[in-house]
Amino acid sequence: MMSESEAKPRLDVGGQAVIEGVMMRGPRGYVTAVRVPSTGEIIVDEHPYRPLAKRFKPASWPFLRGGIALFEMMVIGLKSLNFAAGTVGEDEERAKGAESGKAGEPDQERGTLTRLALAGTMLISFAFAIVVFVVTPNLSTHILMNFHEVKEFAGEHGWGGALMSLARGESLGFQEHQEPLAYNLVAGAVRISLFLLYVWGISLLKDIHRVYQYHGAEHMAIKTYEAGEPLKVEHARVKTREHPRCGTTFLFITMLIAVFVYSFLTKAMVAIWPWLGELGSRNWWALKGILICSHILCMPIIAGIGYEVVRFAAKRPGNLVIQGLIMPGLLFQRITTKPPDDSMLEVALVSLERALALSEARAEEPVAALDEASGAIY
C-alpha cells in the first residue's frame, strides 16, 4: 500500500526569502509567512493565483515562458517583500510605542507601498540591473581592452586627450563590432565579477545575512518536500542549501548565454547593415548606443533560453554534463544562502504547507497541468 506522500504526485513549488520570512509559490497561488520579531508569532498572507501560462496559451510556449515567468516572479516577489516589510515595520512601531509609554494601534500603511510605488520600484530595479549588468560591463570592456593603446596616447597628449579619444572611439584596435565574441567574453567576465561582488558585499549587512538564512531555509524546505518526507524541522535541517532551480543559478546561466547571444547578434547586425561598421568611425557613441539597446531588447530571449536550460537541468540530476554546466551557479548559492536556525526552517515549512494546501488539485483541473504551469525558477 502506497503512503500518502507516494500517492500524491509532486508539484513544482518555488519561493523567495523575504524580511523575517519566506514566500512559497505553487500552481494555484502563493503564500508569505513572516515571523513577528517581538512575539515569535508566524503571520501568513495567502493569495490564490493562476499563472499566465494557464490563462494564455502562448505564455506556456518554450523560450517565451521564461521571460513571462520571470516577470511574474518579480511582481509576486515585490508584493511579498512589501507584506513582510509592513509586518516587521508594524511590529517595530508597536515596540517603540511600548517603550515610550505611548503604545497604540500602529499605522497600517507604514512600511508598505502602494501599487504605484511598487511599479516605480520595479522600474528602478530594472534600470539599475541594466546599468550595472549591461551598460557597465560593455563600456568597461572598451576601456580594459584598449587600455595599453590609451596609455601610449596619454604619454603624448595627456590623459585628458586620451580619455576623450577613448570616449569617441578613435583609432582603437579592439571594438565590439569587429571582434564580437572576444569583446563579449571579456564583458561577460566583468558582468559575473560585478554580480559576485554585489551578492558578497550585501551579504555583509546584518539584515541581508538574515534574508540569506531564510533563503537557505526555503531551499531546505523544498528539498524536504521533493524527497517525499514529512514537512518537519528535523527532516529539513539535514538537507543541503543548494538547489538547481534557484534564481542564483538561473542568473549565472543567463550571463553565460548572454555572451554568445550578444556576440551572434552584433555579428548579424553588422552583416545585415554594413553601415553600422562605418558608423563606428564617424560616431562611436551612436554605434555603442545601438548595440547596447539591442542587448537590452534581447534580454527576454536570453531569459527564455536560460529558463529552459535550468528546467532541463532540474529534471536530469544524473546528467554529468548538465550538472557541470550549472555547478558554478550552485557554488554561487554558497554566498546567497546561509545556514538557517530551526525557527527559520519552521517559517519556511509553514509557508510551504499553506502553498501546497492552496494548490490542491481539483477533478476538473489535472495535477499534471498544474505542475507544468508553475514557475521553475525561484
Residue of 148, 251, 144 whose CA lies nearest to 187: 144
364 pLDDT more than 60:
no
Pairwise CA distance, residues 212 & 340, whole Å: 8
Confidence band of 72 (pLDDT split at 50, 70, 90): confident
pLDDT tens, 172-209? 667 788 888 999 999 999 999 998 898 889 888 888 99
Query: HSE of 126 in the Cβ direction (CA atoms, 13 Å)?
Result: 15
The residue ranges of every structural domain in the chain are 12-373
The rounded mean pLDDT for the chain is 81
In this prediction, residue 172 carries a pLDDT of: 60
Report yes or no: 30 and 80 within 8 Å, Cβ to Cβ: yes
- For the stretch 239-293, pLDDT in tens is 999 888 888 888 888 888 999 999 999 999 988 988 887 776 677 788 888 999 9
Find the mean pLDDT for residues 346-369: 72
- Cβ neighbors of 116 (< 8 A, separation 6 or more) are none
> Would the pLDDT of 218 be above 50?
yes
Give yes or no for residue 2 having a pLDDT over 90.
Answer: no
pLDDT of residue 12: 78
Quick one: which of 103, 79, 102 has its CA closest to 29?
79
Cell numbers linked to 343: 525557527
Q: What is the pLDDT of residue 8?
A: 55
Average pLDDT over residues 73-97: 85
> pLDDT tens across 233-250, in order?
999 999 999 888 888 888
**Each residue's pLDDT tens digit, 98-137:** 666 555 555 545 445 566 776 777 788 788 888 888 899 9
Amino acid 102: pLDDT: 57
Q: How confident is the model at residue 138 (pLDDT cuts 50, 70, 90)?
A: confident
Q: Where are the alpha helices (DSSP H) in 8-146?
A: 52-55, 65-100, 115-130, 136-145
pLDDT at position 114: 66
Q: What's the rounded Cα separation, in Å, for the pair 26 and 48? A: 9
Average pLDDT on 212-217 reads: 95
Residue 53's pLDDT is what?
Answer: 76
40 phi, psi to nearest 5 deg: 80, 0
Tell me the C-alpha distance between 324 and 327, whole Å: 5
Q: What is the DSSP letter of 1?
A: -
Is 262:338 a contact under the CB 8 Å cutoff?
A: no
Name the pLDDT band for 344 (thresholds 50, 70, 90). very high
pLDDT of residue 190: 93
Q: Cβ(153)–Cβ(161) under 8 Å? A: yes
- For residue 234, the model assigns a pLDDT of 95
Q: What are phi and psi of 110, to 5 degrees?
A: -70, 135
CB 176 within 8 Å of CB 184: yes
pTM, to two decimals: 0.81
Give the pLDDT confidence score for residue 163 in this predicted structure.
67
Task: Give the pLDDT mean for 327-345.
Answer: 90
Residue 176 grid coordinates: 565590439
Whole-angstrom Cα distance, residue 60 to residue 374?
Answer: 10
Q: How far apart are CA 68 and CA 53, in angstroms?
A: 8
CA–CA dist 90, 84 (Å, integer): 10
Over residues 4-26, the pLDDT tens digits come to 444 455 777 889 999 999 999 98
Percent of the chain residues topping a pLDDT of 70:
82
pLDDT at 5: 42
pLDDT digits (tens, 9 = 90+) for 141-177: 887 887 777 677 777 767 776 666 666 655 566 778 8
Task: Please name the helix (run of DSSP H) or strand (run of DSSP E) that holds residue 264, with its range, or none.
Answer: helix 247-272
DSSP three-state, residue 116: helix
